[in-house]
């Protein structure tokens, strides 16, 4: 589907915001545009700060300053491909507009949030909500079908869960190729030697 054929959704998160964050991709049917505040984006994310900050030389920052001088119009910024609902939730957290956020979300939605937080380096900004959403899924850490838990643990710096998942994967992975099997065996032997030091390996 071409961009011109897409139906569009416009979500106002900051009514006086100076940025339109545009999300469009062949992976999603509809283009989504979010009106947001550059100040809130920069405060929550080093990535947005580098892109839109007062000292930035990126074209987006140049356009933002021009819009600010002229006093009209909005600066358009393209968002990287991600889930539109997860992006809306993260942006609402940035802006303190959390009254309609759910207390619980599906595991896939949690993974989608983690992907966004990883890309925009904004896990700290959503920490309160992330902890709330993660809690119901803690018991599924090493269950089949929940491999993405390792991303969640990494992004939100849950070292205990990360180590548990890593240990489980090393001990339980199945490899059919003989050469790869030798590699896995070497990893397993190293794992045994590391023992209790695995938590210290995380983050190095």
* Chain segment 133-170, per-residue pLDDT in tens: 999 999 999 898 898 999 999 999 999 999 998 888 87
- In which domain, by residue range, is 164 found? 138-197
Q: Are residues 70 and 123 in the same domain?
A: yes
pTM of the entire predicted model: 0.79
181 falls within a domain? yes
> Would you say residue 183 has pLDDT above 80?
no
Residue 1 lies in a domain: no
- CA 189, 190, 193, 197 torsion-angle sign: negative
Do 33 and 118 belong to one domain?
A: yes
In a domain, 204, yes or no: no
Rounded-to-integer distance, Cα 140 and Cα 137, Å: 5
CATH code (residue 107): 3.30.710.10
Domain limit, last residue, from 108, 129, 150:
129
Q: Of the candidates 83, 99, 129, which is a domain's last residue?
A: 129
Query: What pairing do the DSSP bridges indicate for beta strands 19-23 and 31-36?
Result: antiparallel
């Amino acid at each position: 589907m071409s961009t011109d054929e897409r139906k569009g959704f416009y979500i106002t998160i900051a009514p006086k915001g100076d940025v339109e964050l545009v999300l469009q991709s062949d992976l999603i049917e509809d283009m989504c545009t979010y009106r947001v505040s550059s100040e809130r984006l920069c405060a929550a994310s080093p990535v947005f700060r580098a892109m839109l900050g007062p000292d930035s030389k990126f074209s987006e920052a140049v356009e933002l300053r021009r819009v600010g001088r002229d006093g009209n119009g909005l600066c358009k910024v393209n968002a990287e491909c991600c889930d539109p609902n997860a992006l809306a939730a993260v942006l609402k957290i940035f802006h303190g507009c959390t009254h309609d956020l759910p207390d619980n979300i599906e595991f896939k939605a949690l993974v989608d949030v983690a992907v966004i937080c990883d890309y925009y380096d904004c896990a700290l900004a959503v920490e309160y909500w992330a902890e709330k959403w993660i809690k119901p899924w803690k018991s599924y850490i090493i269950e089949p079908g929940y491999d993405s838990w390792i991303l969640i643990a990494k992004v939100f710096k849950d070292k205990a869960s990360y180590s548990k998942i890593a240990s489980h994967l090393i001990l339980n992975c199945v490899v059919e190729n003989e050469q790869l099997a030798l590699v896995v065996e070497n990893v397993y032997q190293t794992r045994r030697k590391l023992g209790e030091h695995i938590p210290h390996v995380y983050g190095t």
